[in-house]
Structure 1
Amino acid sequence: MKAARFYARNDIRVEDIPVPAVRPGTVAVNIAWCGICGTDVHEYLEGPIFVPSADTPHPLTGEVPPVTLGHEFSGTIAEIGDGVEGLSVGDAVVVEPYVVCNECIPCQLGKYHLCTRIAVIGLAGDGGGLSERIVVDPRWVHPVGDIPLDHAALIEPLAVAYHAVERSGARSGTTALVAGAGPVGLLLAAVLKGIGVTTIISEVSAARLAQAAELADHVLNPTDGDIADRVRELTDGVGVDVAFECAGVNAVLDTVLDAVRPAGVVVNVSIWGSRASIDMQKIVLKEIDLRGTFAYVNNHRAVIALVQDGKIDLAPFITKKIGLEDLVQDGLNSLINDTESSIKILVSPTL
């Protein structure tokens, strides 16, 4: 079968590999669509990062490059191994792309996304969605019913956004600032809108602001004035209840600390490429809760329900569809060279 394989930085190849065999207690999924994540782009440009290095096999999967990429994918169940119940051949599904140890303290506490030896399928081995088929543990397989499979490929990044909102404590009737309108920031705004939160988005890109205007109650451009001042104007001088840092930029972190109300919550969503500098005086004098968020845990069922109930429409987030053979030229390079208008590029092994 065809699969996109990471060999090294700037070296991703679409090539033929053996079709994975179903084993007892596993499920085979034929891939319909796989989204290209920003993590995939970083691996291509700067990796290996989450991909194991050539001389250090991953402690759970045992794999080293080349590994098959892709962790935002949907498909249909093609085959079911002995002992698997509750799933049927032909089911439309998404996969929570984890391999965990089930032994460490976070796993024992139910925080499996914080497993001390976690592997992400499509980065650290065990197959990937940028291929024709994958075999996975049924624990991670989630039926999506009648959600179109191209839309369903966005369930994984939407779960990232949902978990960040869950971490924030935001609820209907509260106010939120999303600082940074990249793909996750826009999906965050969609989740907030879906649960009835008044949402403000700040972003410097005009193209991203135009996209954000469909999701937020207010959109602000930092070049037009101080964001924290404008947020207070929109919130009767108080500030927002919660703020999400989605840029990995120190100036943005400073802004959200200024824009949140006293005793408010700031959630850091972005993965930082360098050490951040934090004004602790702001946190202390306003009693701000600064919280981290990572991926998702037990969130897929709720996220799927939001989409099935029509509270979130994923169609506007899909900006391009390509075939697997075009992954590098029309996928990765497109995201590298056009950071403003591309939100989510979907890849199909059958196009």
Structure 2
Amino acid sequence: MKAAVWHGVKDIRVEEAELKALKNNEVTVRVAWAGICGSDLHEYQEGPVFVPVNAPDELTGEIAPLTMGHEFAGVIEAVGKDVTKYKVGDRVVVNPTLTHGIKHEDVDIYDGFSFIGLHGDGGFATFANAPEANIYKLPETLSLQDGALVEPTAVAVQAVKEADMKFGDTVAVFGAGPIGLLTIIAAKAAGASKILVFDLSDYRLGKAKELGATHIFNSGQVNPSEAVRNEVPDGVDVTFEVAGVGPTFKSSIDVTKARGTVVIVSIFARPIEWNPMMLTNTGVKVTSTIAYSPTTFQQTVDLMGTGQLKPQGIVTSQIKLDNIVEGGFEALTNDKTQAKILVELSGEM
């Protein structure tokens, strides 16, 4: 089968790959659509971040080179002999997070996690295997293309839950990339009264406005703290840091009210320097999230299925697998008008 395989930094190759033998507790998914994630882009630009290169991953048993892609949906092609909940032909989306599964789901992922498509073979391929426990049926109201948006939307839903948001809260979002845009959508659905968004790209800011931001600012042209306090004098209730660089981390604390909350949603490619007195002097609380619980993933499927969450507006391009490097990874690196790029595999809807 054809697959997009990570070999190293700036070295993703579309090549023939062999699907690993199906385990008894797994299903084989005929992949229809898959999204390129910011995590994938990090691996392309400066990896390995998550990809195992020195030893096989503890949970997947796999090591690079491996097939990327962890935001994907498709149709079940085959089932292992111990699978009971699904059958061939079911339309499904894959939750790519693998854990030890021995603690409550609220902390399970922090006991050690791996991702299908980052720590082991994933969905940028004709077929992909996944454990039954990681499979979720798609409601009839969602297309398979919509299914490829469930995973990143679940990240945003989990971030909003981590913030303990309340109706009427004011929100700031730093970074209007795909996860930032989805966080705007999730915060709006959760009842935010004002959503102030900062980014360096005017195009992405326009997209943020289209998807629910009430105020947009080019952070290269304004002082974020002043901009926020002109609208919310005491600072916002919740800030989401979705850019992953030192200046936006510090600004996230600066714009948040005393005893407010900053949620780190981004992946920081390198360490940053900051003074913890920024928290001591303000009472601002900082928390973070890496992914989502199984409950949050199911809730995301349900909320998208009923139309309460509509992430489809973040899609800016659809490309073929053969074009995933130039039309996908390079486009996301160089073209700030791109947000979410979907890769067509079977193309089924």
- Shorter chain as denominator, the TM-score bin is over 0.9
Q: Percent identity?
A: 35
- Of 286, 299, 302 in structure 2, the residue corresponding to residue 302 of structure 1 is 299
1:174 Cα deviation from its structure 2 partner: 1.0
SS in 2 for 1:327: helix
One-letter amino acid of the structure 2 residue matched with residue 78 of structure 1: E
Match of 2:281 in 1: 285
SS in 2 for 1:330: helix
Mapped pair 1:173 → 2:172: no
1:330 Cα deviation from its structure 2 partner: 1.3
The 2-side partners of 1:188 and 1:285 are apart by 28
Match of 1:16 in 2: 16
Match of 1:91 in 2: 90
Structure 1 unaligned regions, length at least 5: none
1:287/1:22 Cα in 2 relative to 1: closer, same or farther (>3 Å)? same
Match of 2:101 in 1: 102
SS in 2 for 1:197: coil
The 2-side partners of 1:280 and 1:18 are apart by 49
1:254 Cα deviation from its structure 2 partner: 2.0
1:314 Cα deviation from its structure 2 partner: 2.2
Equivalent positions of 1:62-211 (< 5 A) are 62-102=61-101, 107=103, 111-116=107-112, 118-125=113-120, 127-146=121-140, 147-198=142-193, 199-211=195-207
The 1-side partners of 2:330 and 2:220 are apart by 28
Structure 2 unaligned regions, length at least 5: none
One-letter amino acid of the structure 2 residue matched with residue 3 of structure 1: A
Contact 1:254-1:279 within 8 A present in 2 as well: no
Which of structure 1's runs of 4+ aligned residues deviate more than 4 A? none
1:224 Cα deviation from its structure 2 partner: 4.2
TM-score, normalised on structure 1? Answer: 0.92
RMSD: 1.8
1:161 Cα deviation from its structure 2 partner: 1.0
1:110/1:227 Cα in 2 relative to 1: closer, same or farther (>3 Å)? closer
1:226-279, CA deviations, whole angstroms, 9 ceiling, x for partnerless residues?
2222222222x2211111111122222222212111110111111112222233
1:211 Cα deviation from its structure 2 partner: 0.4
- Of 311, 316, 319 in structure 2, the residue corresponding to residue 314 of structure 1 is 311
1:68-127, CA deviations, whole angstroms, 9 ceiling, x for partnerless residues?
111011111122222322223222211111232335xxx4665232233x22111111x2
The 2-side partners of 1:89 and 1:64 are apart by 29
1:270/1:83 Cα in 2 relative to 1: closer, same or farther (>3 Å)? same
SS in 2 for 1:213: helix
The 2-side partners of 1:35 and 1:261 are apart by 35
The 2-side partners of 1:12 and 1:137 are apart by 25
Match of 2:264 in 1: 268
Contact 1:91-1:145 within 8 A present in 2 as well: no
1:26 Cα deviation from its structure 2 partner: 1.6
The 2-side partners of 1:238 and 1:45 are apart by 39
20-29 or 62-71: which moved more? 20-29
1:198-240, CA deviations, whole angstroms, 9 ceiling, x for partnerless residues?
21111221111110111211112234432222222222x2211
Q: Give the number of aligned pairs.
A: 343
The 1-side partners of 2:286 and 2:119 are apart by 30
One-letter amino acid of the structure 1 residue matched with residue 79 of structure 2: I
Contact 2:105-2:293 within 8 A present in 1 as well: no
